[in-house]
Chains A and B, each alone.
Chain A
Amino acid sequence: MTDRRRGEGVSRRGFLKGSLALAAGAHGIGPWVPRAAAQGPGAPLRLGFQVHRTGIGAVYGRWYDRTTAAAVKLINERGGIAGRPVEIVAEDDGTDPRRGAEVVEKLARQHKVDLIFGTLFSHVVIASAPRAGELKIPYLVVSEGYHVASGKLNRYVFQPGITDVRAQVTAVAPWILKNLGRKVTLIFPDYAFGHDHRDFFSRVAPAHGGTVQALIPIPPTETSFTRYFPRVPADTEVLYHVMVGPGVLTFVKEMGEHFGSRRPQIFGFVDSLEGVDLASPGLEFLEGTYFWEGFPRYLQPNAPDFIRFYRERVGVNDQGASVSDPRDVSTFAHMFGCWETLFVIKRAVEQSGYRTPGPAGYRAFIEALESFSSFPEGVEHPQGAKRFVGRLHQVFGHQYISRVEKRRLNVIHRTAIEDSMYEPEADYTKQPL
C-alpha cells in the first residue's frame, strides 16, 4: 500500500506538519513515476514499512501499524528526526515470503525510501533479507526470531527493537525450573517458531537441573488437539506451550477438557494469545497458569509514567485493548518493538549525520547503529532498558513472567537483562558493506 497511513486513526496532517505540506503534493503520483524525492534540508525522511496487513499475520500487522503511526506522530511533534519530518511508506506483504521480497524491492527501488523496517514473521524476514542485502539498504526487523542473531542474514539487517526467542527462553527457563517444576513437556507448533523453543529450551534446561519429558510437535493446519494430550507423560510437572495461530482457543479449551482440575503447572508464551481477550469464553482454564510477556498487556499498578504515556499514545486501554473498541485486543507483547525501533532509527540517523540513500550515508548509519551498546528506559524505550550487541545486530532486554489471575495477567517476575544473554555466534561487523 502506498497510502501514507490513510484511515488508520492518524490523520495525514498529524504526519506532515509545517513545511512538510510541500511533500504532500507528490502523493497522488502513480506507481510508474518515481517520486522526485526532494532531499534538501527539511525534506521528509521516508521510512519503508513492510507490514502484514493480510494473511496469517494480519492481527499483528494491524497493531504494528497503529504503534508505528503513534510513534511517528510523536517524533514529528517533537521536531522529527535530525530536524526532518518522518513519513511512513507502508506496503502489505500478505505475510508471504515471495511478496515480502517484492515489497522490499518496491520500497527500495520504486518508493526510494531511506530504509525499511517492521517485518514480523520470520519466513518473510528470511526471504526478504537477502534482497535488502543485495540492494544494500538497511532493513530493521521487529520479529523476535533468532535469525538476525544467528548470523544467517547480512550486514544490512538489524533487530534493535525487540528481543529474540533464544534470549526469551534463556531468561525464563531457569525461573520455570526453579518455581514450577523440573520435569517439563513441551507442546509446540511443528515449524520454525516452535523449533526455536524446542531447541533452546532443551539446550538450557539441563544446566538448571531440568529434564524434558516429552516433545510434542503439532503439525500446522491442525484444528483439534484432543488426540495430542494423551501423549503428555503422567509425571510431567510443567506443561510448556507455545501454540500460535487461530487455533489457540481450541487448544486451551481442549487442554482444559483433558486435564480438568488434575493439571500440571502450565507455562505458555503469550504469542498464542496476542489479539485474544483473556476474558474470552473457553479461556477459564488458564486461571492460575503462567505466561511469558514481552511487555505486560494489562496496566500494572506500579507502572511508571512513560508506560502510561506510551499506552495512551498508541490508544490502548488498561486491559490492553483499543480505547475505541474494547473487543479489539492488541498484540501488546510485541508491538512496542516498532515504537522502539523507530526511536533507535532516530538516534542512529542523528548520530551518524545520515542524509540521503547511498553507500556513504548507509555506511555511516550502519556503523553508528553497530556502535550502540545500551538504551535507557523511558518514553523512547517504554518496555524497559536495553542492551545492544553491535556485532550481533540484536538487542537484549528484560522479560516478564505473568500469572493469570481473575482473567488478567499480573506480572510476578521481571528477569534481568543479563539473564537473557547468551554466547554470541555471529559477527556481522566483519562483513563488507
Chain B
Amino acid sequence: MKILLMGNPNVGKSVVFSRLTGVHVIASNYPGTTVGYTQGSMKLGEETAEVVDVPGTYTLEPTSEAEEIALKMLNAGDIVINVVDATNLERNLNLTLQLLEKGIPVIVALNMWDDVGHRGIHIDLSRLEELLGVPIIPTVAVTGQGIKTLVENIPRASSPKFPPRSRDERWVTIGNIIEQVQRVTHRHHTWLERLEDASIKPLSGGFIALVVLVGTFFLVRLIGESLIGYVFDPLFDTLWTPVILQLSSLLGGSGLIHATLIGNIAGGEVAYVESFGLLTTGLYVPLAMVLPYIFSFYLMLGLLEDIGYLPRLAILMDTIMHRLGLHGYAIIPTLLGLGCNVPAVLATRILESKRERFIAATLISIAIPCAALQAMIFGLVGERGIQYVAIVYGTLL
C-alpha cells in the first residue's frame, strides 16, 4: 500500500513523515524545503506500507514545478494523509477539497493543533468531520501528539463522493465550511507580532536585519572564540603538547619524518599554527580553529531558521536580489553557503527556474566564503585588524 503525505507548503508534512516512518528528514521552518520526494515505510498492523513525503502544494492545478511533481505522484497513491495547518484552515481546505474530488481515500491530520488555542481560533472538529466526510485527527507533529491516533485511523480513510467543482464554487463551499466550524476570537497584537510586522517594513526591517545579522556575526565569533580559548586550546596544550614533545625527542628532534609529522618546534613549546607538521598544525587548524566556527555558525543558523526569520529576510532582500536576476528567496541558500557551499548549492533546488538555480549556484561557488574559509580568513588576517578582514569580504562582494 502506498500512503501519500500531502498538504500546503510549510504545514509540517516532513515532521509527520519523520514521526510515521522514523526516517529522519530535514524539516525547516520555511516553505519549499521538500522539493524532491522522500520515501519511507511504516508498520500498519501486519502490513508494511510505503509512505511518500510529497512536496508542498497549494492546489492540484499545477502552478509550479513542485506542484507538478505532487500531482504526478498523486496518481500512484492509495491513501492520502492530508496534512493541514489548523491555524490556516481556509487556505488549506482548498487542497483538501480538490483531493476529495479526485475520489482518493483521504484522512486529514489537523496539524499545529497546539497553536490554534493561543491564536484564539476555535474549530469544531466533529462538525468538520461531518462536512468533509473523512476522519479528522488533530496532531502536533513536532511533539508527536496525535500521531498514534492518526496511524490507528488510517484504515478509516474514506473517499466520500465530492462532485468536481469549479474554482469559484470550491471557494464558496470552503467559505460555508469555515463559517460552520471555525470561530476566531479577536485578540490583541502581541509584541512578537508587532516585531514580526516591523521586520518587513523597509526602514525598521532594514534596521532589524542589520541588528540580526551583526548580532549573529558577533555571536558566531563569540561562541567560536570561546570554544577555541576555553576548550580546544587548553585541550591541545595540556593533552597533546606533552605527546608531541615526547614524540619529538623520540624522533631525535630533526630529520625527514620529524619535519613531516611535527615540523619546526622551538624549545619546550609547540607553536601549533607555525610548525607545519602533520600532527601539529595539521590537527590544530581543522580541529581547534575551523571546527569551533562551523559549530557556532550552524548553531546560530539553526536558531534563525527556527524562529522563522529567514523568509522575512527574503522579503527584505528581494529588491537587491532582483538586480542579480534572482528572487529574495535565494538569500536562504546564500546564507547556507556561509556555512558550507555544498548544502548551499543543493538548497538552490528551492528556487523555481533552472536559470535562477544556475545564477545562485554560480554566485555561491565564487563569492560566498564557507565557514572553514571564513575561519581561515579570520585566523590569518584577523590578528592584523578588522579593517583587513573587511577588505577581504569587500573584495568578495
A and B found bound together: no
Interface residues of B (CB under 8 A from A): none
Interface residues of A (CB under 8 A from B): none
